[in-house]
């Protein structure tokens, strides 16, 4: 169970970094800022999905797959990640063509 808590904290730290990048990119509509935010997003994308996969495996091993909070957390963390990635990409394309 301790491993699950550590994984949960690591995932929450990466998601909080994503949210801070998202808010900073929304506040400043600069091309360089958005590009750097998108690059940091892409760099942290693989560790987040590795942690989510390891968390899903740990939930399966611990027989906690029937607890709905973990399923909800895995789904919404992926959904938040997808939303921030799509927003950063669309903003980057918009700034590239219309700035």
Percentage of residues of the chain with pLDDT beyond 90:
55
Q: For residue range 45-84, what is the model confidence (pLDDT) as tens digits?
A: 999 999 999 998 888 888 887 888 888 888 999 999 999 9
Query: Which pairs from 55-62 meet CB under 8 Å and 24+ separation?
Result: 55/4, 55/7, 55/8, 55/11, 58/3, 58/4, 58/7, 59/4, 62/1, 62/4
Q: Is the pLDDT of residue 39 over 90?
A: yes
Domain positions in the chain are: 2-98
């Amino acid at each position: 169970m301790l491993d699950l808590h550590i994984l949960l904290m690591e995932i929450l730290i990466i998601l909080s970094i994503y949210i801070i990048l998202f808010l900073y990119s929304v506040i400043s509509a600069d091309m360089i800022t958005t590009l750097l935010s998108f690059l940091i997003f892409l760099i942290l994308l693989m560790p987040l999905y590795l942690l989510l996969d390891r968390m899903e495996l740990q939930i399966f091993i611990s027989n906690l797959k029937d607890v709905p909070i973990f399923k909800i957390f895995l789904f919404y963390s992926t959904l938040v990640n997808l939303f921030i990635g799509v927003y950063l990409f669309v903003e980057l394309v918009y700034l590239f063509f219309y700035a």
